[in-house]
Structure 1
Amino acid sequence: MTYSTGPTEQVGWVQRRCQDLVRNVEHFIHGKPAVVWNCVIGLLAEGHILIEDVPGVAKTSLAKALAHSISGSMKRIQFTPDLLPSDVVGVQLFDSNKREFVFREGPVFANIVLGDEINRASPKTQSALLEAMAERQVTVDGVAYALPRPNFVIATQNPVDQQGTYSLPEAQLDRFMMLVRIGYPSPEAEVRIVADGIARRLPEQLQPVTTVEEMQQMIDIVRSIYVSPALQNFIVTITSATRTVPQLKLGASPRASNALAAAAQARAAVEGRAFVTADDVKAMARAVLCHRLMLTPEAAVREFRTEAIVDNILAAVPVPQAPVSV
């Protein structure tokens, strides 16, 4: 056992390991600490991460930096319009020596699956990830094959108004625990980015600072973080409120409630606490909920933003006042 046996000691160990992980990623991703922390929180919650932004702001570099900071198997899938579902999950091939069909694993069989520009593939190929992301297995020709644990999908996508992109199916968006946007760097951070480019530094050159075994231990600890009944009701009240907003044609699902609870547990752990507070829930609400919400056509024309809708709900829902007890 790598960590101590007491809850406080376990959470302290998780906090220190996450700090090491974030520092390592920030050797290459400059000026975006909140973005990096959100990604680490998503991984701690055993969730999949979708990184969306315009081309050239280090989406793929962030995904690579995270992947190379964790010692484990990593596979990259470059999503293109001609990519087939079998190119993702695998295929049954006939072995002439054995005179039988054998399964050849696809790149989804890895601890970390880097899906680059995921929305450039057709919806049929995107949907090949649905079972893998939700159930940690794939089914080919009626046979289920378990994926390795942990199994993270870190995907990048360009905004849907970019040429050559497809909208991700709602069912797949719902399977991404969090959506992270990077944004343009500050001038100071961009100077460091240019220096990295001149020196030909690459995220692949980062050395791992943790292992998949440690990540699994951290995930197990995060699952034990206490969420009071009052905060469980708080989470459900927030997600339920999205289903009654007139500007939305699709609100947050019960899966979103589970994702928000898990993300709040992970945030509590990186803050060094063995219990969740309302601040943890509110801090993770945007990243967990916004990409799951769909505006009505009228609201989209009037340029409503899902971020503003979530903020309004958080402001309206009363915060539980009951004391936290573990």
Structure 2
Amino acid sequence: MSATQTNKIDITKAATSKINEVDFEKLSFGAVFTDHMLECDFTNGEWQTPVIKPYAPFLADPSMRVFHYGQAIFEGMKAYKDDNSDIWLFRPDENYNRFNKSAVRMAMPEVPENVFMDGLSQLLKIDQEWVKKGKGNAMYIRPFMIATGTGVIANPSDDYKFMIILSPVTSYYSGDVKVVIAEHFSRAANGGIGAAKAAGNYAAQFYPTTLANKEGFQQVIWTDDATHTKLEEAGTMNVFFRINDTLLTAPTSERILDGVTRKTLIDLAKSEGINVEVRSVLVSELVEAAENGSLKEIFGAGTAAVISPISGFSYKETYHELPKIENAMATQLKDKLTNIQNKLAEDTFGWTVKI
């Protein structure tokens, strides 16, 4: 290993790389990680010097607060390599700002921009060979923070660990996605932490999603906690509905995550002259549209899959199949977005940032 210091980041490089052990043609999403990771501790009321070092497990005290009281947040981002071997991030400021909003909501310290952004840039430069060219290839970036203070008293931790790990990925194919609309379970409630990317939000979804899987559905479309009449998110993604030629999606709130892909698709659709309505979408409205033939498409939107088309939904034990559409709006928007991300089309919005 060799140790250096760059822009107040201590860097220890791995003696050898494991990149030649990886089959980049057969990657399982989020299962393979690069040679290095970034780590920065918050102790004694201040952030310490960030460290980039070889990817490896670390020791954890059994009484660490994250295990007992769930102070844990994360983000999901991607980096892309263009034909000139330059590496680009997509709207990283949105992820950085949302990360710190999540931190505030979970009573955790905000991460300084130089730790998050400069650390990420250095990490990507060190592991740049892991970022592969070609549309569909990307580097999935997982910044996260956990409470590392010890003791089982039910208080916020005094100590925290911020980390970034990198995972090379290829195109995310989810296959045929059928969903069931939630009638009892809720993803989040008013006054809760639904708008934060808190780990517990995702853990709470596993049980109702498992029940849906047993019934032959891949995901759940979540409804509001109070009345279960308003459509909110699909699985771990924001959700869009196309009724005739209008694109509908729910407004962000304390219950709904302010997705980066979501807001990007809204801007892209508007720039293409598509009528977009950001408003509450009722379950009854969706069922009626499915029955009269005006419901054309449903799709989820998120970092991993970008857009995940939904082939049908079930509500009150009645299944509604969606029509097969050539040149679907979901396909058009996904192509436009991924072309910008991969520098195959001009970025007139200023979303891409060169490393």
Scaled to the shorter chain, the TM-score interval is under 0.3
Higher helix share: 1
TM-score scaled by structure 2? 0.26
Greater RCO between the two (CA within 8 Å, min separation 6)?
1
TM-score scaled by structure 1? 0.27
Higher strand share: 2
